[in-house]
Structure 1
Amino acid sequence: MVCNKLRQPQNYIEAVAPDSVEMKTAELLSGIDGTMMFRYNSKDTFQTLYVYLSEYQSGKRISHKKVLELSYEDVKSAKNGLIVITPDFDNFTAKLIAADE
């Protein structure tokens, strides 16, 4: 049992399966540009959740900026949540939704 607990990931983020009901629903609502969904889990407590946007060209990172900051100063941090990114290629923007428990 101890070995099993040690092998489980502590903090991670993973893409939601493309064939899941959640993803299919999000794609229907997002239009032609599509959407990306990520689920995060944390065994540790934290005071702030940061989301960064990094741009790569030819395998090298050319920019790295913080696009979202969720503060948990006055409340207990979430153990899991969902991050949804919906691009709008016509206007060169993206909508970002972060939801937690």
Structure 2
Amino acid sequence: MKSIDDKTRTELEAAAFRRLVEHLRERTDVQNIDLMNLAGFCRNCLSNWLKDAADERSVALPKEDSRTHVYGMPYEEWKQRHQGEASPSQLADFEKSKPGH
């Protein structure tokens, strides 16, 4: 993206982030553990990265607010509505790849 100025690059990256978040909100069938096992990140990671970015800029963003932003609802509500129990296989895969997260 060398030919794109910094402001435009930031706007494009922000638009891509918003689209990713919206996609994950729509795909409630995809569990966080599956995302972690396959991609090495999940919705919680995104919310943590958002909070980290806020912290780096001295912007007050409580963890629960960053999670609500990513999940589109309070995290506990999302878990009750959409999060299933992880299978033994999913947990084993997570434990194998856990050091990389």
Q: Same fold (TM over 0.5)?
A: no
TM-score (norm 1): 0.23
RCO higher in structure (CA 8 A, sep ≥6): 2
Flag the structure with higher strand content. 1
Flag the structure with higher helix content. 2
TM-score (norm 2): 0.23
